[in-house]
Amino acid sequence: MTGNKAVAYKGPGKVELIDIDYPSFELKDGPGVNPANVGRSVRHGVILKTVATNICGSDQHMVRGRTTAPSDLVLGHEITGEVVEVGPDVEFIKVGDICSVPFNIACGRCRNCKERKTGICLNVNPDRPGSAYGYVDMGGWVGGQANYVLVPYADWNLLKFPDKDQALEKMMDLTMLSDIFPTGFHGAVTSGVGVGSTVYIAGAGPVGLAAATSAQLLGAAVVIVGDLNADRLAQARSFGCETVDLTQGGPAEQIEQLLGVPDVDCGVDAVGFEARGHGHDAKEAPATVLNSLMEVTAAGGALGIPGLYVTGDPGGVDEAAKKGALSISLGTGWAKSLSFTTGQCPVMKYNRQLMMAILHDKVHIAKNVNAKAISLEDAPKGYAEFDAGAATKYVLNPNGYLS
C-alpha cells in the first residue's frame, strides 16, 4: 500500500511528521474523531495526492496549545491536490483533475449549504454546524498536511482548475484559494469595502494581508494595516498599503495622521482571540482588536471578523476568556449602529471568482503574503518560524509538485 506521512500536533509547541494510513472511503476512528462519525461511508469522496498544503494561523492556535486539540491530530485544512482515486458515487470529478479544496467541509444537501452558508453545514460534524479538515471539534476529518488526503462530497466541494499546466504554473497563488484568500475577501466584503472606501485591517499576518489585497481588488481608496510586527508591516507596505505601528499606541491617532480624520469606513479583524494590547510591552488582551475596531470604524459602518474566536481556550488570560467570553464594548457598537459578521468564511461563495482573478493576472496573492514553499519534513521548522513572527506564508510541498 502507498505510504502516507503527515504533520501531527504532539502537544503545546510541538509538531512531528508521523506515518498514517493511506486514506480509505470510510471515516476511521482516531484523534479528534467524533464517535458518531466513525464508520461513516464516503462513497461520494475522492483521494487526493497533495500538490500544496499550507500552514495557517488557525493551525498555529492549536500548536500553541490554545485549544482543546488532542495529541496526534493530523493538521492541515488549506489543501490543493490531484485526484488519484474516486469513490463509486462521484460523478463529475475525474482522476487527474487538479482541484482546490475549500477548508469548510460541506454536504451540499442541507438547508445551509443550499443557502451558500457552507461554513455551517449541518451534516458533516455531529458536534456543531460547520466542519474543517484537521481541526479540533470539527468532526474528525483527517487533515491535509500529508501526502494523501480524503475529500468527502467531492462533486460539491472541489473547485477544479480548468487547465492542469496553467494551474501548476500558478500554484503558489492558487493554493491560497483553499482558505486565506477567500477568508480575507470575506472580511473585506462583509465590512462593506467598495470603490473609494477607507479600510483599517487589524493584523498583518497572512489573512490580514489577504484582506488588504482583497480590499484593493474591491476598489478601496486607502487600505491601512495595523500590527505590532515590523516585518509584517513592511510586507503590507510592499504592495501599497499604509500601516499603523501598534507598538506606538492605538490606531485612532495614527489613522487620523494618514486620513485627516480618526475613523475609516470599514474595519476588519484578522487577529482573533490571541489579540494583544497596544504599546511596546503589549500583553495579551483578547478584546483589544474588536474594541479598537469599533472605536475607529465610522458610525453606520461594518466590521468583518474573519479572525478566529473559540469557545474553549486553556491558555486564556482569565476564566472568562477560557470560555470565549470577552469584555467587548457592545454599547459602542450599538451607539454607532455598527454591523458585525463573524464565523467561518463560506469559501465556495468566493473561490471561483478569485481563481479567475488569479488565472487572468488581476491579482498576485502569493507575492503579497510572501509565500514560500518548503518540504513536508521542514514543517516543524516552518511552524516555529511562523510562531516567531516570520512575515511568510509557508506552503508545504509533500509530493514535489512545487519548484
Q: Is the pTM higher than 0.85?
A: yes
Ranges in the chain annotated CATH 3.40.50.720: 184-341
List helix spans (H) across 44-196.
57-63, 111-114, 154-157, 164-169, 171-174, 180-190
Distance CA 268, CA 342 (A): 10
Task: Establish how many alpha carbons lie within 13 A of residue 1's alpha carbon, considering only the half-sphere containing its beta carbon.
Answer: 10
In 3D, which of 81, 67, 59, 78 has the Cα closest to residue 15? 59
Domain 5-179+346-396: CATH superfamily is Medium-chain alcohol dehydrogenases, catalytic domain (3.90.180.10)
Q: Transcribe 312-361 into DSSP letters.
A: --TT-SSTTGGGT-----HHHHHHTT-EEE-S---GGGTHHHHHHHHHTT
Cα→Cα distances 349→80, 89, 99, Å? 18, 24, 16
Label the pairing between strands 393-396 and 371-374.
Answer: parallel
Helical (H) or strand (E) element with 383? helix 379-387
What are the two backbone dihedrals, phi and then psi, of residue 268, each rounded to the nearest 5 degrees?
-130, 130
Give the tens place of pLDDT for each residue, 108-150: 999 999 999 999 999 999 999 999 999 999 999 999 999 999 9
Tens digit of each residue's pLDDT (9 = 90 or more) over 369-387: 999 999 999 999 999 999 9
Does position 1 have pLDDT exceeding 70, yes or no? no
Write out pLDDT tens, residues 225-238: 999 999 999 999 99
Give the gyration radius of the chain's Cα atoms: 20
Asked if the model's pLDDT at residue 56 lies above 70, the reply is yes
Q: What tens digit of pLDDT does each residue of 178-204 get?
A: 999 999 999 999 999 999 999 999 999
- Asked whether the beta carbons of 51 and 297 are under 8 A apart, the reply is no
Angle at 161 between CA 159 and CA 166, to 5 degrees: 155
Q: Which three cell numbers stand for residue 331?
A: 454599547
Q: What is the CATH number of domain 184-341?
A: 3.40.50.720
Q: For residues 99 and 37, is the Cβ–Cβ distance under 8 A?
A: no
Q: DSSP for 74-97?
A: EP---EEEEEEEE-TT--S--TT-
Which residues make up the CATH 3.90.180.10 domain(s) of the chain?
A: 5-179+346-396
Q: 35: which DSSP letter?
A: G
- How far apart are the C-alpha atoms of 295 and 262, rounded to whole Å? 9
